[in-house]
Structures are given as C-alpha cells and as structure tokens.
Chain A
Amino acid sequence: MQKTAALDRIAELLRADQSQTVNTSMRIPVALRDAASIATDELKMAQSTTVMTVEALRHQLRSLLMRASLDEHYDNHPGSRPTLAELAQAEADLSNHRLKNQSDLITRAAQDITKVMQHPSPSDVLIWADSLGFYQPQP
C-alpha cells in the first residue's frame, strides 16, 4: 500500500463504526498491566484496561495521522509551511496567552530569538516576546 493510500485508509478506519470488536492478544509489560489493574479495579479511575488501551491507541493514531498528513502536505506544497512567527501566534491564540493580540511583538520575537537560539519552539518565542514586552519603554 502506498503511503498516501495508507493514510487515507487510517483516516477512514478511525471514522468508521467502532461498535464491532475483536479479541486480540497483545504482549505488554507485566508491571504496566498491574498498574492499570490498580487504576481500574481499586481506584475506579477508568472503566477497564481495555478501554484505556483503546483510547490511548486511538489518540496516538490520530496524532500520527495528523503529523504524517501535514508533512506530506508540506512536501507537495512547500509554501504552505507556517513560519515560526505564525506558529507562535497560533500557540498564543490556542492558549489564550496574554500577548495573543500583539502580533507585531510576537513577529519581532520570532525574528530576534533565532539570533541566539537554534530551533526555538513557538513557546520559546512567546517567552521571548514576554521579555521584550517587559523591557519595552513604557509611554
């Protein structure tokens, strides 16, 4: 199966009816099984080890599918890859960061930080932007 077809098939299966189930054997660490047993049976923190495993698997597949799809999209459309400033702005928006409405400051921080740091993350940019804002002369 080619990569594109495989990704489409994973997306289709994640959207499909999830009510049909199948027994499967899975080798997992004994300690992990025992920890899950305490969490479910003793502490009632989750319905069952099976439910926890299925949810974790679904979550991980969604994340991997999204990552692979974005990477493939950038291969096909290199100009669509967001800049560091755009990623930092998105991070500020999603996290309701107090600088989310100061896009100029975020853009400046994204430019400045690369002079002193290799491969900064969007969160690094926001910390840098915060410090820029802090030391900015007040009118």
Chain B
Amino acid sequence: MTSKKTKSSILSRGTLLILDNEAIQALSHHSHPKHRRMLAIIERFQSLLQRGFQATLIVPTTVRVEALINRQDPAASFVNRIVNYDHSLDNLTADHAATLRQQFPFLSVVDAHIAALALVDKRDIVLITSDTDDFENCLSSKDINIIRI
C-alpha cells in the first residue's frame, strides 16, 4: 500500500527544505545528540537529488547568526558543502516577518524569518525544526511539511 503524498511532500518537484537553528547545529557538530538524525535526513535528501528531484536546501542568514555559523570559518567546511544556499532577509520577507511577529508574539526574529520565507516562497516547503508546535501554529494557513529534528 502506498502512502498518501501531500502537496508539501519532498517527493513533489520543486521543494525548498529549510533548516532551523537546532537542525543546522545538529548537522554541524558530530557530537550533537541529533547529528545522526540530521545526517539521515540529508542522506535521503541527497538520494532525491541523485534521482533528479528539484530540491534545494537553505538556511536563513538569521539562523546562521543564532547558530554561530560563519561560512568563512574552516570549521564550517562540512556545512558549506551540504548547505549551498543562504536566504538573506530582504524587504519583502522582512515585512512578512514583522506582520507574523505582530500576530504571533511568541516568534523570535529568527523564527519569524523562517516562517516568512516559508509563506513567501512559491515552492513546496519542508521545515526541519525543534519548534514544531510554534511553526504549526503560525503556518497553519499553508500546507507545509514540518519535521521534528
């Protein structure tokens, strides 16, 4: 029996995978308790790329600041190879993030950036996060696959 694939399944074409603070930290540090869990996700992501699926892995720049990840640091070499794209907080996303923080005061600036990106981007969104409850709450208007790290 096959499983039901929702719109935000990464198996659809044109998907954006967003990492939050804990996800990128788990990927960066091999001693992190969720490092292997994160690598399992990256393994399956790589397998999809290999099969030709158009999927992009992205980390918002504010997440990198919170996670203390400087791409120029030699210690960031592994993350630099796996995560090829940043998302900078542009005007449009900043406006959405500000509105989200008005509506959901529990959101931090970093989380608001993630949520705004998820709302603005036209691709199917998969979000890897430790704050599933907060994101399910503020992103309920859009069909997003929110995965707990």
A111 at the interface (CB under 8 A from B): no
Most B C-beta atoms less than 10 A away, residue of A65, A66, A86, A97: A66
Nearest chain A CB to B86 CB, angstrom units: 8
Least CB separation from A66: chain B residue: B46
Given A70-B39, A94-B48, 8 further pairs, Cβ under 8 A: A8-B81, A63-B49, A65-B84, A66-B82, A80-B30, A90-B44, A93-B145, A94-B145
B8 to chain A, nearest CB (A): 7
Whether, in the assembled complex, B6 has its beta carbon less than 8 Å from a beta carbon of chain A, the answer is: yes
Q: Is the interface of A mostly helix, strand, loop or mixed?
A: helix
Residue interface mask B18-46, A partner, CB < 8 A = 1:
00000000000010000111011111111
Q: Is the CB of B44 within 8 A of A91?
A: yes
Contact with B along A60-85 (1 / 0, CB 8 A): 00110111011001000101111100
Task: Specify which chain B residues have a CB less than 8 angstroms from the CB of A10 in the assembled complex.
Answer: 81
B84 near A11 with CB under 8 A, answer yes
Is B110's beta carbon under 8 Å from chain A?
A: no
Give the chain A neighbours of B45 by CB distance below 8 A.
66, 94
The smallest beta-carbon distance between A88 and chain B, in angstroms, is 9
Residues from chain B with Cβ under 8 Å of A12 in the complex? 80
Number of residues from B at the complex interface, CB < 8 A: 36
* B63 CB within 8 Å of chain A: no
The reply to whether A11 and B36 form a contact with Cβ atoms under 8 Å apart is: no
Q: Which 7 pairs from chain A and chain B are nearest by CB?
A: A82-B40, A90-B40, A63-B49, A69-B81, A86-B40, A97-B3, A94-B10
How distant is the Cα of A11 from the Cα of B8 in the complex, in angstroms?
A: 28
Q: List 29 A-B contacts (CB under 8 A).
A: A4-B77, A59-B52, A63-B49, A66-B42, A70-B39, A70-B42, A70-B46, A70-B82, A73-B30, A73-B78, A77-B30, A80-B30, A81-B39, A82-B37, A82-B39, A82-B40, A83-B36, A86-B37, A86-B40, A87-B40, A90-B40, A90-B43, A93-B147, A94-B10, A95-B10, A96-B4, A96-B8, A97-B3, A126-B3
